[in-house]
Amino acid sequence: MLFLYLYFNYLSPVFFLSLQKNIALIYPANIEQKLGFDTIRQHIINECISVLGEKMTEKLKFRNDFKLLNTLLDQTEEFRQILQFDNYFPSQDYFDLTSEIDRIRIQGTFIEIQALIDLRLSLITIFNCLKFLQPIDEEVKYPELYKVSSNVNLNENLIAAIDRILDEKGIIRDDASAELRKIRKDLKSKTATAEKKLNQTLAIARKEGWTGDDVSVTIRNGRAVIPVTASNKRKIRGFVHDASATGQTYYIEPEEVFELNNEIRELEHDERLEIVKILTEFTDFLRPYSYDLKEAYHFLALMDFIRAKAKFAIRIEGVKPLFSDKNLLEWYNAKHPLLFLSHKAQKKEIVPLNIKLSAKDRVLIISGPNAGGKSVCLKTVGLLQYMLQCGLLIPIKHTSETGIFESLFIDIGDEQSIENDLSTYSSHLLNMKKLVEKADDKTLFLIDEFGAGTEPQLGGAIAESILEAVCEKKAYGVITTHYSNLKLMAGKVEGIVNGAMLYDTENMHPLYKLKIGNPGSSFAFEIAQNIGLQKDILDKARLKSGKSHLDFEQQLQQLEVDKEEITRKKQELKVADDFLSEMIDKYQKLSDNLESSKREIIKQAKNDAKELIHQSNRIIENAVRMIKESNADKEITRVARENIQHFEEKLDKTEKSAKKVKSKQNQSIKEEIDKSPIFIGDFVKIIGQQTVGEVEFIKNDKAIVIANSIKVTLPINQLQKVSKKEAQQKAISSKKTNYGSVMTEINEKAANFNPSIDVRGKRAEEAIILVKNLVDEAILLSVYELTILHGKGNGILRHVIREYLRSVSEVKEIKDQHVERGGDGITLISLK
C-alpha cells in the first residue's frame, strides 16, 4: 500500500539511517536548534489531535528525494485547501488503537470495553475521512490524499458488529446474547426484591427509633446495609459489616436480604463472565482484520499529521511554491515563520526577503550594518529550505521558484567547546574544514560573520581562501561579513555576487531589506555618531582607520545613491522617449496630410490653368470671328475688345485673391514653426488646437496656462507662442463660438471623471501615461484626492509611479492606502 510504503519506508528511523548515508552533509548535529526548526516542530505537534500525529511529527527529517518531497508538499497543500475552502473535515476521535490491536492478536485475548468504545468512534472517523476524499461524479478533487485513502480496505460491517453488542452509552447490550439477557433479567428482579425488603426493614428501624429519621441505606464492602445506633444493634438480626470510628454506629445487613444479596453477587459474577465470553467471541471475529485495522490507523495518523502541517501553514501563510528538481533559490516575499508569528502577535509588519541563487550566481555575500538583518536573512534561507525539504509549506510568494539540495551546512553562532578545548575561532575553522572536504555542487552552505573571531587581516585572508575553494566545488551558499576583501571577490571569482542590507542614512535606522548587486556599508561611524559617541574619538578613529578604507565605504554608499538616481533618470527618459515617439507619430500624420493636401491643390491648380487657357482661347477666337464677319466694324470690334478686357480684369481679381490666401498660409506656416522660448506673460496655444491662453507660471518643463478663466498645467513642448493681437482675436472668436462648447466639454469631463485608476499588469511607461492623464484632468477639474491601484508584486510599478508623482509640483502628499484596504498596493494622492 502506498501510504504504508511512505510511512514505514520514509518515516521510520531505519529509513533515516539509510537516508543519512545518501546525504552528502547535514551539519552540525544541532542544526534544527540553530535554525529554530525544533520550535517549528513543536508548533506542528501542538496542532495535532492525536498521539499518532505527534509521533509522526517527531519523525520529521530533512530529505533529498524530489518525488517524495513533491508528494508530501502536494498532500499538505491539498489539506490546506480543504481547511480554507472546503467543507468540514473530520477532526475528532483520532484514537490510537494500534497497541490494543497488537495485543488482541494473541489467541484467547479479548478487547476491553473502553478500547471497544474508542474503536467504534475512531472507525466512524476513518470511514468519514474516506468518504470525504471519495471522487464526486468521477472527479478526484484531492488526488494525492485520495491516493493515500484508496489503499485503506476496511470492512464496513465492523461498526455494525460493534453496534450489535454495544449501545450508544458504551454498555454491553442485554441482547448481546440470550444468556446475558436471562442473567440481567434475574439480576434486575432480585435486586428489586432486595431493595424492597431493605427499605421495609429501614422503615421499621426508623419507627422504633433504632436509627435516625434522616438515615438511608448505604454501602459497605459492596453490600447494602442499614446504619443503626450501637445500643440497638441487637434489635436487627443480620450481618455486621462495619462500625463508625467512634463506635456509635453499626452497619448491618438484615438477615432477610443476606441470602438474596449473595444470589445477586453470583448473578453479577455470571454477568461478567458472559460479557467476557461475548467480547472474546467479538475479538475472534475482529482478529482477522487486524492488519487492515493497523493500516487504517496509520492512515488516520497520516491525516492528523498532514492536517497539523496544513494548519500550521495557514498560520504562517505558507504555500507550495514552484518546486523543481534543481539546485536554485529564487524567492520573493519570503518570511521567517517564527519572526512572522512574533510580529503578528504584536501587530507589527515584517519586511519580506527577496533572494536568488542560481548556477550563474551561486554564492551571495551579504554585508551591511550590525543589527541590520544579515543574520535573520541567513536564518530565513536556512530555515525555509530545511522546512521545504521536510515536506512543509513555507511563507513565500507562490510564484517563487524553489529547488532541492542534497547537503545542508550551516555555521551560525558561537561553537566554543570547553570539553574539546576549542575556542570560538578554532571551532569555526573546524567547521570550514568539514565544509571544504564535503561540499559539492549539490550543497547549500550558510555562514554567519565569515572570517570573524581572529585578527581581521589574517582572518579575512583565510576566509577568502576558503571561499575560493568552496566556489571551485560549485557549491551554493549565503554568507554574511564585514570584511572588504570578501566583498571585492564579487566579479573576480566566478559565481560570487554581493548583496547589501539597506540602511536609512537620513533617519539612521536599518530597513531590514536585502538588495542584491552591490556590497553594503557597515555604517560604523554613522551609527557611532548617531548614538552620541564623542566627536574627538570618532575623528581619531577616522585617522586610525585610514583614508582608503573610508573612501571605500563612502564609494559603496555613493554607488547605491548613484544607482538609484540612474534608475530614476532611466525611467524618466523612457517616459520622455515614449512621449517623443507619440509626438513624432502625430507630426508624421500631419506632414502626410499636408503633403496630400498639397498634391490636391497642385492638381486643382493645373486643372484651373487648363480651363483658363481654354477660356482665353475661346474668347480670343470669338473676337477674331466677330471682327472678320463684320468686316472690322468699329462697334463690333469695340464689343470684342471689351469682352477681352473684362476677362483680363477677372483674371486680375483671381490672382489677387490667390495671393491673399497664399500670404495667410505663409503667415500660418510661419506661426506653426515659431519655436522661440516661452516666458511668463506670453500668449500660447496648444499645438493643433485654437484655444489661446496666457502663461502664468513656469517650472521645469511645465507651464500653468490661463485659458477662458480655467488654469491648466501643460508641458511646454506642447505649447506654441502666438502674438498678442492674434490672442485677442482668438479670445473674441472663442467667446463667440467656443465658450459654450468648452464649458459643455468640461462639464462632461467632470460628470464622467473617475478619481481612481487600475494600472496592474501595465508596463511602466503605459502606467505613467495613464497617471499623467489622471493628474492633469484632476487639476483641470479641481479634484484633490486621487487613488492609483498598482498592486504589490515586486514594487517596481509602485516605485516608478511614485518617482513620477514626486516630480509633479501640484502633488501635495503621497501615501499608502490603509493596510486593511490594500496597504502599499494602492497609492493615495493629495493635490495642492
Report the SS3 class of residue 38: helix
CA-CA-CA-CA dihedral for 264, 265, 271, 273, to nearest 10 = -150
Query: Which residues fall within 8 angstroms of residue 746, CB to CB, at 6 or more apart?
Result: 710, 780, 781
Q: Please check the confidence at residue 637 and state whether its pLDDT lies above 50.
A: yes
pLDDT value at 787 more than 70:
yes
Residue 527: per-residue pLDDT: 60
Question: Mean pLDDT across the stretch 366-384?
Answer: 89
Model confidence at 227, in pLDDT bands (50, 70, 90)?
A: confident
**Which residues pair with residue 240 across a beta bridge?**
252
pLDDT of residue 240: 83
Lowest-pLDDT choice from 59-68, 70-79, 356-365, 741-750: 741-750
Q: Which has the closest alpha carbon to 182: 269, 264, 271? A: 271
Q: Where are the alpha helices (DSSP H) in 134-244?
A: 143-149, 157-165, 178-208
The pLDDT value recorded for residue 18 is: 36
d(CA 715, CA 509): 39
Predicted confidence at residue 748, as pLDDT, reads 62
CA distances, 14 to each of 11, 613, 749, 809 (Å): 8, 113, 75, 71
- Measured CA angle at 772 (ends 767, 774), to 5 deg: 95
Judge whether residue 736 has pLDDT over 70: no
What residue type is assigned to position 263 of the chain? E
Among 10-19, 312-321, 727-736, top mean pLDDT goes to: 312-321
Q: What is the pLDDT of residue 63?
A: 93
Question: Which range among 267-271, 732-736, 818-822 has the greatest average pLDDT?
Answer: 267-271
The model's pLDDT over 137-182, given as tens digits with 9 standing for 90+, comes to 888 899 999 999 988 998 888 999 999 999 988 899 999 999 999 9
* Contact status, residue 145 vs residue 75, Cβ threshold 8 Å: yes
Assign 155 to helix, strand or coil.
coil
542 membership: H or E segment, kind and range: helix 535-545
Q: Tell me what the mean pLDDT of segment 232-239 comes to.
A: 80
Which residue has 480554507 as its cell numbers?
Answer: 84
At residue 38 the predicted structure's pLDDT band, cuts being 50, 70 and 90, is very high
Q: For residues 205 and 285, is the Cβ–Cβ distance under 8 A?
A: no
76-133 tens-digit pLDDT: 999 999 999 888 899 999 999 999 999 999 998 999 999 999 999 999 999 999 999 9
Q: Are 206 and 229 in contact (CB under 8 A)?
A: no
Long-range contacts of 525-534 (CB under 8 A, 24+ apart): 525/550, 527/369, 527/370
Whose CA is closest to 365, among 448, 437, 441, 440?
A: 448
Report the pLDDT value the prediction gives residue 252, as an integer from 0 to 100: 84
Phi, psi of 755 (to 5 degrees): -75, 5
Residue 362 pLDDT exceeds 50: yes
* Higher local confidence (pLDDT), 672 or 65: 65
Nearest to 226 by CA among 234, 235, 217: 217
Task: Please give the backbone phi and psi of residue 723, each rounded to the nearest 5 degrees, phi first.
Answer: -75, 160
The sign of the dihedral angle between the CA atoms of 621, 623, 626, 631 is: negative
Listing DSSP states for 649-683 in one string gives HHHHHHHHHHHHHHHHHHHHHHHHT--PPP-TT-E
Distance from C-alpha of 698 to C-alpha of 706, rounded to nearest angstrom: 12
- Is residue 490 scored above 80 in pLDDT? yes
Q: What is the mean predicted confidence (pLDDT) over 745-763? A: 74
623 C-beta neighbours (distance < 10 Å), count: 18
Choose between 575 and 267: higher pLDDT: 267
Dihedral sign of CA atoms 145, 147, 153, 156 in order? positive
pLDDT of residue 40: 97
Query: Which has the higher per-residue pLDDT, 170 or 546?
Result: 170
pLDDT given at position 630: 63
Residue 604 has pLDDT above 90, yes or no: no
- Confidence (pLDDT) at 664: 55
**What integer is the mean pLDDT of 670-678?**
61
Per the CB < 8 A criterion, the answer to whether 719 and 684 are in contact is yes
Question: Beta strands 785-789 and 756-758: pairing type?
Answer: parallel
Strand spans (E) along 373-522: 401-402, 407-411, 443-447, 476-480, 496-504, 509-516
**Cβ(219)–Cβ(235) under 8 Å?**
no
Q: Identify the band that residue 381 occupies on the pLDDT scale cut at 50, 70 and 90.
A: very high
Decide: 331 and 400 in contact? Cβ < 8 Å: yes
With H, G, I as helix, E, B as strand and everything else as coil, classify residue 404.
coil
Minimum mean pLDDT range among 437-441, 444-448, 742-746: 742-746
* Cα 174 from Cα 186, distance rounded (Å): 12
Alpha helices by DSSP H, listed for 27-156, are: 31-35, 37-47, 51-58, 66-85, 98-103, 113-133, 143-149
Section 617-640 average pLDDT: 64
Closest to 123 measured CA to CA, from 80, 79, 176, 161: 161
In this model, does residue 714 exceed pLDDT 50? yes
Per-residue DSSP letter, 92: S
% of the chain exceeding 90 in pLDDT = 36
| DSSP annotation of 697 | E
Q: 673 versus 678: which is more confidently predicted?
A: 678
pLDDT of residue 760: 84
Contact 816, 826 (CB under 8 A): yes
Q: What is the CA radius of gyration of the chain?
A: 48
Average pLDDT taken over every residue of the chain: 81
User: What pLDDT is stored for residue 774 in this prediction?
Assistant: 86
Question: For the packed helices 290-315 and 2-10, what is the interaxial angle rounded to 10 degrees?
Answer: 70
DSSP reduced 3-state for 129: helix
Enumerate residues 6+ apart whose C-beta is below 8 A from 236. 201, 205, 210, 226, 228, 252, 254
Q: How far apart are CA 464 and CA 666, in angstroms?
A: 75
Is the pLDDT confidence value at 751 over 80?
Answer: no
Neighbours of 736 (CB within 10 A): 9
Whether 315 has a pLDDT exceeding 50, the answer reads: yes
Query: d(Cα 774, Cα 788) in Å, to the nearest integer?
Result: 10
Name 534's Cβ contacts closer than 8 Å, sequence gap at least 6: none
- Which pLDDT value is given to residue 831? 86
Question: What length does the chain have?
Answer: 832
How many whole angstroms separate alpha carbon 742 and alpha carbon 240? 117
Phi, psi (degrees; rounded to nearest 5) at 688: 95, -5
How many C-beta atoms lie closer than 10 Å to residue 550's C-beta?
14
pLDDT at 44: 97
The angle formed by the CA atoms of residues 122, 55 and 92, to the nearest 5 degrees, is 25
Q: Is the pLDDT of residue 473 over 50?
A: yes
For cell 510564484, what's the residue? 399
**pLDDT on residue 792:** 77
Tell which residue, 557, 547, 483, has the closest CA to residue 518: 557
Question: For cell 572570517, what's the residue?
Answer: 451
H or E element: which one contains 751?
helix 739-752
pLDDT of 338: 95
Question: Could you read off the pLDDT of 385-395 as tens digits, one per residue?
Answer: 999 999 999 99
Q: Which residues pair with 509 in a beta bridge?
A: 504
The answer to whether 369 and 523 are in contact (CB under 8 A) is: yes
Separation between Cα atoms, residue 494 and residue 451, nearest integer Å: 20
Q: What is the C-alpha to C-alpha distance for residues 516 and 360, in angstroms, rounded to an integer?
A: 14
User: Residue 730: what pLDDT?
Assistant: 62
Q: Which residue has the higher pLDDT, 739 or 44?
A: 44
Predicted local distance difference test score (pLDDT) of residue 708: 64
774: its cell numbers: 489622471
Whether residue 28 has a cis bond before it, omega within 30° of 0: yes
Is residue 695 within 8 A of residue 682, CB to CB? The reply is yes
Which of 526, 521, 506, 519 minimizes the C-alpha distance to 553? 521
**Contact of 318 with 394, CB cutoff 8 Å:** yes
Q: Tell me: pLDDT of 662 over 60.
A: no
Q: By mean pLDDT, which of 38-42, 353-357, 528-532 is the weakest?
A: 528-532
Amino acid letter for position 704: I
Percentage, residues of the chain above pLDDT 70: 76
